[in-house]
Amino acid sequence: MYEELKKILQNGRRMVFFGGAGVSTESGIPDFRSESGLYNARNRYGVAPEYLLSEECFLREPEIFFSYYKENFIPKNAKPNKAHRALAMLEEQGKLAAVITQNVDGLHQMAGSKNVLELHGSIHDNRCLSCDARYALAHLVDEKNWINGIPRCSVCGGTVKPRVVLYGEALDEDCIRRSVEAIEAADVLIIGGTSLAVWPAAGFIHNFNGDKLVLINRSVTGVDQEADLLIREPIGEVLGTCLNLK
């Protein structure tokens, strides 16, 4: 399997990567949908995690929303793993046209990837809802900027909201368009670290009409039977081995 993947990576000229939470688990960021992942917050908060990460929770109970968000979505010393680094290397070589990610952690950019399409936004982009002042992640990390459990704007005192897509919110139309266009133009589509259970993003891959569909995921997905190459191993180990990363 590894030799076949190496050949695909060598021959690909306009590859696109579509990834999810499993890409970042090897960096210590829990998989959102795993049994031991963030969804176990139900036991602590007494409500479904979908509610804790919803627009409704943010508007009705912002203190609870931000408590959960700060505890689980601000990574503590997370670093790019071999998967992130391998994809950045492929882009630098001119082989990878785009990274389309459902993650919000920014690890692809930290590894060096330039053309990253973040379908669900980014924890590194934060805006004041009152005056639209922009803040880096450091603003939310610093508790001095929090008042009564809510991060506040240093300019006007308004609420600073992370630019991540919450349940009940729509994906960015421009990001959708660019993602679909990238997939349509790809000669190789590599899907990794995602169960393809989150819609509408999971449906984008059906726009692929290229030569090779590669699926690297530890669990079963709905498109396993369509893959030209299926590998059920950790994606960091797979890509790291194929590109000889230490």
Q: Which helix (H) or strand (E) holds 237?
A: helix 235-242
Confidence of residue 196 (pLDDT cuts 50, 70, 90): confident
pTM over 0.85: yes
Read off the pLDDT of each residue in 180-196 and give the average, rounded to a whole number: 94
For the chain, the structural domain boundaries read 1-29+79-120+170-246
Q: What's the pLDDT score for residue 35?
A: 53
* CATH code given to domain 1-29+79-120+170-246: 3.40.50.1220
Confidence of residue 33 (pLDDT cuts 50, 70, 90): low
Read off the pLDDT of each residue in 51-68 and give the average, rounded to a whole number: 94
Question: Higher-confidence residue: 219 or 35?
Answer: 219
Confidence of residue 205 (pLDDT cuts 50, 70, 90): confident
Question: Higher-confidence residue: 42 or 144?
Answer: 144
Annotated active-site residue 120? The verdict is yes
Task: Give the Cα-Cα-Cα angle 80, 30, 104 (nearest 5 degrees).
Answer: 60
* Cα Rg of the chain, angstroms: 19
- Cβ(100)–Cβ(16) below 8 Å: yes
Residue 167 per-residue DSSP state: B
Q: What is the largest CA-CA distance in the chain?
A: 57
Confidence of residue 240 (pLDDT cuts 50, 70, 90): very high
Residue 17 has pLDDT above 90, yes or no: yes
Could you tell me what percent of the chain has a pLDDT over 90? 73
Confidence of residue 46 (pLDDT cuts 50, 70, 90): confident
Residue 164 has pLDDT above 80, yes or no: yes
Residue 44 has pLDDT above 90, yes or no: no
Q: What's the pLDDT score for residue 38?
A: 55
Residues 6+ apart with CB under 8 A from 35: none
- Cβ(160)–Cβ(187) below 8 Å: no
**φ and ψ at residue 153, rounded to 5 degrees:** -75, 135
Amino acid, res. 154: S
- Cβ(221)–Cβ(64) below 8 Å: no
Confidence of residue 43 (pLDDT cuts 50, 70, 90): confident
Q: Rounded distance, CA 173 to CA 224, Å?
A: 28
Identify the active-site residue in 120, 124, 139, 206.
120
CA distances for 162 relative to 81, 171, 244, angstroms: 24, 14, 36
Residue 11 has pLDDT above 90, yes or no: yes
Can you list the alpha helix ranges (DSSP code H) found in 74-221? Answer: 82-92, 107-111, 137-141, 173-185
Helices first, then strands: H and E counts in the chain: 10, 11
